[in-house]
Amino acid sequence: MQQQKSFAANEQGTLYLVPTPIGNLDDMTFRAVAQLNAVQLILAEDTRHTIKLLNHFHIETAMQSFHEHSPATQVDKYVTMLQQGTDIALVSDAGMPLINDPGHPLVQAVLKAGVSVVALPGANAALTALVASGLPAERFTYYGFFPRDTKGQKQILTLVGERLETAIFYESPYRVSKSMAVMKKHLHPDTQVVVARELTKQYEEYLRGTLEQVDGWLNGHEIKGECVLLIEGGKALESSSESVIDQTLPLHEQVTQYMQAFQVSSKEAIKEVAKVNQVRKQVVYQAYHETV
C-alpha cells in the first residue's frame, strides 16, 4: 500500500508526466508550459523533436534523451536525482507519455523508491478520436497498435467481436486497408468503424460507416497521416451466422449465401454452414463442390 499526496511539501523531487500536442501546438496547456519551465530537467523521447516544442514556447529547461533503448543505469540515475530533490518532467514525441511510448520502467522504479509521480491532463489521440467517432464512449478498450501477425489479429478481433465495447487501435496509413481486409474475416460487414487521421492538424479527417463501406472507400483512395482505428464491439462474424444462413435452402446455396454476405472464402463459409446445421464439414463440403 502506498499513499501519495501529490502536492504536499516534500524534500524529494517529483516526476511529472507532461502531455504534448498531437499535432496542433495550440493544444499545449498553460499548466504544461509552466511545469516544463519549473522542473530542472526534461526527459524527451526524441530531443530533436521536442526542442522544436520548447523553442516555440520559449522553454529553456535542460533536456536529455530517454527512450525505449535507454539502459537501466539511466533509470537508476534519474531515480537518484529525484530522491535528492530534482524535479523531472517526462514527455513523449506527441500526446500523453507512456501511451505506446517509453517511460513505464522509469515510473515503476520511481514509485518503488517512494518518489511521487504526477500526471498532467492533456492531448491524447485515442480519446480525441473516440469522443468524435459517434461510437459508444461509455465503455471502451484501447489495444495499442493493431497486431501485425495473423494469430494476433485473429485473437484480438475475436475478443473485439465478443465484447460489447468500442475498440481503439493505432494504425499506420499504409496498413489500414490491409487491417480492414482482416477485420472482414472476423467481424460482421455491418460493424460500425471509424478511421480518424491527422487529428488536430489542418487535414484532420474522419471516415465513418460500416466495415463494408469504409473498406470499399479505402480500396479506391490513398490516405496519409497516422490513424486511429475504432471498431464497434460485439459484432463477431460467428454471432450472426444463424440469422444470415437460411436453413431452408440446400446446403450448397447456404454456403453461397454466407460467402456473399460476409465476403469470405468457401472454406470459411462451409465451416459456418456446418456449425449452424449441426452436420459434419465433409457433408457440406461435398454438397457445395458437387455444384461448382
Q: How far apart are CA 124 and CA 190, in angstroms?
A: 28
What is the arithmetic mean of pLDDT over 179-203?
94
Burial of 117 (0-12, 13-18, 19+ CB in 10 A): middle
Q: What is the pTM of this model?
A: 0.78
Q: What is the pLDDT of residue 242?
A: 63
Per-position b or e across 59-94, b if 16+ CB within 10 A of its CB: bebebeebbeebeeebbeebbebbeeebbbbbbbbb
Other Cβ atoms less than 10 A from the Cβ of 107: the count is 18
More confident residue, 239 or 253: 253
Q: What is the pLDDT of residues 70-126, one digit of tens each?
A: 888 999 999 999 999 999 999 999 999 999 888 999 999 999 999 999 999 999 999
Chain segment 255-285, per-residue pLDDT in tens:
998 888 766 789 888 988 998 898 999 999 9
pLDDT in tens, 145-178: 999 998 899 889 989 998 889 999 999 999 999 9
Residues in the chain: 292
CB 191 within 8 A of CB 263: no
pLDDT of residue 262: 67
Q: Give the pLDDT score at 292.
A: 62
Query: What region does 263 belong to: left with phi over 0, alpha with psi -120 to 50, or beta?
Result: left
